[in-house]
């Protein structure tokens, strides 16, 4: 059990109208916020299982709300950081930098949109970082649901068309140009749009 590992979770306070907005046509603002709440809690449950079995720190990088609202919701024992201003790449780069500055040797970042992330996948991601520079969990939509590093590599978060089907390919091109050794996790679906809700239903 060591504390050289940090798992970063990106999430948002479940305020109606400000979260999971692409789900609002199907679920309504309240329903979309409830989905955000449930998926965040599901992700954190699996993260805490990883922490209990493997050992490591969990850092929550949040948008919306404030630290008091977040800790009252998800628990006082976690570490909370407001997401910095900027695009997703800058937010992730800053989160990785924060974790490495705090002494982590292996850092993995996930969101809450991929409910299939579990203890085995998280363990595989961190284990890969013993021998690889980069670990990526491929998402079916052309992005990635997980990224892990054992040192900060800012280039991986720059000049990426975030939110498009090009994210993974662009990241791979950058990794190749830097001669990074990359490990891959199984390809999994994200729950982003109403047609994806069936993926989440099996966890209800």
- Is residue 20 one of the residues assigned to a domain? yes
- Sequence length of the chain is 204
Q: What is the DSSP letter of 93?
A: H
- Is residue 137 one of the residues assigned to a domain? yes
φ, ψ dihedrals at 16, nearest 5°? -55, 135
pTM assigned to the model: 0.97
Residues in Cβ contact with 27 at an 8 Å cutoff, skipping those fewer than 6 apart = 20, 34, 35, 194
pLDDT in tens, 116-168: 999 999 999 999 999 999 999 999 999 999 999 999 999 999 999 999 999 99
Number of structural domains, the chain? 1
- Nearest Cα neighbor of 167 from 144, 192, 140 is 144
Residues in Cβ contact with 102 at an 8 Å cutoff, skipping those fewer than 6 apart = 6, 57
- Is residue 121 one of the residues assigned to a domain? yes
pLDDT, residue 25, reads 96
- Is residue 71 one of the residues assigned to a domain? yes
The percentage of the chain sitting over the pLDDT mark of 70, rounded to a whole number, equals 99
pLDDT exceeds 70 at position 27: yes
Q: CB burial class (10 A; 0-12, 13-18, 19+) of residue 189?
A: middle
The CATH number for 59's domain is 3.90.550.10
Rounded CA-CA distance 58/95 in Å is 12
- Nearest Cα neighbor of 109 from 120, 132, 125, 124 is 125
- Is residue 204 one of the residues assigned to a domain? no
Report the relative pairing of strands 182-188 and 134-139 from DSSP bridges: parallel
Positive or negative CA dihedral for 36, 94, 143, 163? positive
Q: Are 146 and 110 in contact, with CB atoms under 8 Å apart?
A: yes
Give, in degrees to the nearest 5, the angle at Cα 36 between 187 and 152.
Answer: 55
Query: What is the residue range of 41's domain?
Result: 5-199
pLDDT in tens, 51-99: 999 999 999 999 999 999 999 999 999 999 999 999 999 999 999 999 9
């Amino acid at each position: 059990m060591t504390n050289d590992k940090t798992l970063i979770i990106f999430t948002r306070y479940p305020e109606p109208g400000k979260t999971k907005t692409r789900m609002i046509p199907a679920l309504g603002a309240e329903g979309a916020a409830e989905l955000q709440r449930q998926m965040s809690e599901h992700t954190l449950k699996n993260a805490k299982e990883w922490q209990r079995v493997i050992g490591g720190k969990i850092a929550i990088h949040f948008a919306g709300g404030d630290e008091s609202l977040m800790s009252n919701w998800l628990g006082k024992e976690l570490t909370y950081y407001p997401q910095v201003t900027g695009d997703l790449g800058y937010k992730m780069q800053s989160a990785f930098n924060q974790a490495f500055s705090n002494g982590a040797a292996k850092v993995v970042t996930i969101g809450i949109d991929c409910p299939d992330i579990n203890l085995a996948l998280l363990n595989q991601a961190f284990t890969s970082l013993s021998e690889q520079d980069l670990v990526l969990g491929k998402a079916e939509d052309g992005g990635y649901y997980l990224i892990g590093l054992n040192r900060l590599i800012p280039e991986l978060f720059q000049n990426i068309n975030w939110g498009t089907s090009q994210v993974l390919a662009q990241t791979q091109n950058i990794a190749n140009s830097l001669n990074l050794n990359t490990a891959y996790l199984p390809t999994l679906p994200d729950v982003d749009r109403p047609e994806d809700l069936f993926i989440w239903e099996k966890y209800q």
